[in-house]
Chains A and B, each alone.
Chain A
């Protein structure tokens, strides 16, 4: 089966137990102070867009999951990995 090109988007976020001072600062020192007091929580993280060749969407997802686990693209002690999107590119 010919390989196709896929685009996978992932986020790496600190786990809820690990404080996120960037998110806290955005919420407390910017949004709340500028009147957006309806916002009660902001969490920051990292975003990666990965382009790769794979036989299908499932394989593309599996490769990215394996790569992220094996190479510790995310730190399992402190972070969660979320795959936001897998699509043909």
Chain B
């Protein structure tokens, strides 16, 4: 059985084609770009909500898209254990749809930040990190205006091992300077209890080819390869 991934296109998405490109041409897995109103979960093993500005970020980033029929379809996948991944704006959509706890607020510096950061792996058993090691430090870019993770229930996140990535220094230290947007506890990505739904602000699809990386790295591939591995284990 061949694996098939859906990348949802909302009006205002702008990382959708990059994500499809990396899946099709770098990871060599079949991926479709699917308009959000047309998405049917039954055809797919996983769904990715890509980065961008769905519905212009009106009202709050992600809230209008969270009411899209694509999210009802994604909920079916969420419940039966298929990977549901949100990158950047996709992460904002997942929190607004309440697939993931917390919220993403405006960066504390008030600016849109686009730069390469270091990401420390905190949980390597999820659908997006099973090919990584705990404490790995990955080079990966961020590009967002609203990425400041906030939750009023940090203890629950920590107790349930739901923190997947934190912003760190190259050496893996969790300093304030390494935190680009003021996120609580340097949080860059989290998962649900079942670990099949992951949201993260950084962009693995922009870090999967060495030619795109200032450090000639391709750490982004680890994310997508983890997703493929998770799907294989699930269907075998």
Contacts and interface: CB of A to CB of B under 8 A. Distances in A.
Given A18-B105, A19-B182, A21-B110, A75 B67 contact: no
Contacts of A71: 67
B110 A18 contact: no
Interface in A11-36: 14, 17-19, 21-22, 25
How would you classify the secondary structure of chain A's contact residues: helix, strand, loop or mixed? loop
A72 B103 contact: no
Contact of A22 (B66, B96, B110, B152): B110
B63 interface: yes
B3 to A, nearest CB: 33
How would you classify the secondary structure of chain B's contact residues: helix, strand, loop or mixed? loop
B108 A77 contact: no
A77 B95 CA distance: 10
Given A18-B105, A19-B182, A77 B63 contact: no
Given A46-B59, A75-B60, 10 more contacts: A18-B105, A19-B105, A19-B108, A21-B109, A21-B182, A22-B110, A71-B67, A72-B63, A75-B63, A78-B150
